[in-house]
Structure 1
């Protein structure tokens, strides 16, 4: 596994754990716009 370098001004894809909606944003959204679920950075691997 390798680390992914991120540009802090660049938009990043985020995915909702609950409904699967994917959005792009500069920073992690507090919650999903559709269902209110927790969001995750898609560039960060799940363990």
Structure 2
């Protein structure tokens, strides 16, 4: 396992009055899934 701590600017999320946790999940999974090494499913 590994862990990482980073500072994230959430200004735009607050301006759009979005809920933080669902927005964070969406953006993180979208970015991580752009890299095939991190995907957990195989697309053929």
* TM-score, scaled relative to structure 1: 0.20
Structure with greater strand share of residues: 1
**Structure showing greater Rg:** 2
Structure with greater helix share of residues: 2
* Higher RCO by CA contacts (8 Å cutoff, separation 6 or greater): 1
